[in-house]
Amino acid sequence: MTRAYIRAKDRIGTTIKNFKILDYKRENGETYFYIECLLCGNRKWMKGSEVTSGKSVSCGCYNKNNNLKKAEDLTGQEFGELTVLKATEKRSRNGSVIWECKCSCGNYVSVSSQRLKDGSVKSCGCLRSKISTKKAEKMAEIILEGCIEDTNIRNLTSKTPKNNTSGYKGVSWDKARQKWVAQIVFQGETYHLGRYYKKEDAIFAREEAEKKLFGEFLKEHEIEVPKTKKNKKIKGIEDYNGVTYSSVEEMCRIHKVPYNVYLGRLKLGWTQKNALETPYGCTDHLGNWFKNEKEMAKAHGVNYATYRYRKDRGDDLEKRLNPKKEPKHFKIVNNYQFVNEKECTDHTGKRFNSIKEMCEFWGIRCDTYSQRLHRGKTLEEALTTPVKKIKNKIKKQRKMKR
C-alpha cells in the first residue's frame, strides 16, 4: 500500500518525532524545513528528507549528550616538554579536544588530546633541534676519534660505496672528453692523476697513487689495511682492438655509434669492426655531418624528392645537393618521381605530345607509370600491365547482395 503524498506547504505547524516544522523553502531543487528541536529548543534549517524519513532524532544535541564520550580532564598533566593548561572550544577532525599547553622553553601551543596521549607531540618543536644537535655532536666525536693528523682513517680503508658507477674509488667517466678520469684526495688536497681512454689505465694510476700517499702514512701509524683483490678483472665486452668495456652501451658511446644501430648492423651480418668504425649518419661534400639524407638535403635547400631523383639518376653527391632547380619540363609526381612532359613515344613507336597523354591512351595513371619505371620495369610492362581493381569488385558484390 503506497503512502499518501503530503505537500511541504501542508506540513507547516505539524510535528514529526522531535521536530516542529515552522517554515519551508526550495533551494537547488530540494526542499528544506525550518524546524524547532523539542529536546533543546534549537532552531535551524534541515533537509526535508532528513526530517520526514524518521531516521533523525534531533538537531544533533542527542548525540552530544548521550553517544559522545565526555572529554578526559588533562589539566596540569605533563607530556614530554609540554604542560597542559586548559581546554579550548576547538575540536580536531576526529572530535578530540584541543588543549592549550606550555612548553619548557616558554612557548605556547595548541595540541589535541589524542596527539598528547600517543606521544606524537612532545614539545613546541624545540626538542627536535636539541636531538639533532646531540646527534651531530656524537658524529663529530666518532669522526675525531678516527682522525690522525687531520686525516680520517676510515676513508682510507673503507670499501667502494654502492653508488659508485665505475666500481673503483677515484675513477669516473668524463662525458665531455669521453675519457676516464683518475684522482685522489689526501689531507685536504686533491691530486689529479690524468685522463685515460682505457679504464684499466685509470685504475692503475689510482692504485699507484694510493701506494705512495696512503701506504707511507698507514705504515708510520701501524694501521692494517683490509686485504683486497688486486688487478680485479672487469666483466664486460672487448672490441676489435682488445679494449675492455663494462657494457655494450659504454662501447657504443665511446665509438659514437647508437646502441640500436650497432645491434641492427650485427643482425645484418656486419663484423664488429665495421659496425663500430662505420660512422652513423652521412656527410656532404664539404665534410659536414648529418643524421640522415633528408636532413642533409634540407640544410642545402634541396627538396628531398629532387635529391632522390638525382641519386637514382646516378649524379654524384655535389650535384645532388646543388640548390638549382630542375628544368620546367620536369614535375614531381607522388612526392618522389619526375615525369617528362615533352613529346614521347611508347614501345610501339607511337608519338604523343606528353607522358600524360600517353598514360591516358593506355588507361593508366601517371603516378602508376612513374612508380613502375622506378621499380625497374620496362616501358612496355609499365604501360601494358593491367591495374588490379579488387576494391571495385568488392563494392559491386556488396551492391548485388543488397
- Per DSSP bridges, beta strands 19-27 and 30-37 are antiparallel
Structural domain count, the chain: 5
Rounded Cα distance, 30 and 358, in Å: 80
Reported as a single tens digit per residue, the pLDDT across 283-341 is 788 878 787 888 888 888 888 888 887 887 778 888 888 887 655 444 444 443 444 44
192 and 129 within one domain: no
188 and 206 within one domain: yes
Q: Among 158-162, 222-226, 323-327, 341-345, which stretch is predicted with the lowest mean pLDDT?
A: 222-226
Paired strand residues for 195: 181
158 and 138 within one domain: no
pLDDT at site 120: 86
Rounded Cα distance, 123 and 61, in Å: 35
Q: What is the pTM of this model?
A: 0.28
Q: Are 387 and 396 in contact (CB under 8 A)?
A: no
Reported as a single tens digit per residue, the pLDDT across 264-288 is 888 888 888 888 888 777 778 887 8
pLDDT at site 399: 60
124 and 179 within one domain: no
Residue 93's domain spans which residues? Answer: 71-145
Give yes or no for residue 151 having a pLDDT over 50. yes
pLDDT band at 228 (very low <50, low <70, confident <90, very high): very low
221 and 185 within one domain: yes
Please list, in sequence order, all residues whose beta carbon lies within 8 angstroms of the beta carbon of residue 263, skipping any fewer than 6 positions away: none
Rounded Cα distance, 304 and 289, in Å: 17
pLDDT band at 156 (very low <50, low <70, confident <90, very high): low
Q: Are 361 and 352 in contact (CB under 8 A)?
A: yes
Domain boundary among 301, 326, 351: 326
Assess if residue 23 is contained within a domain.
yes
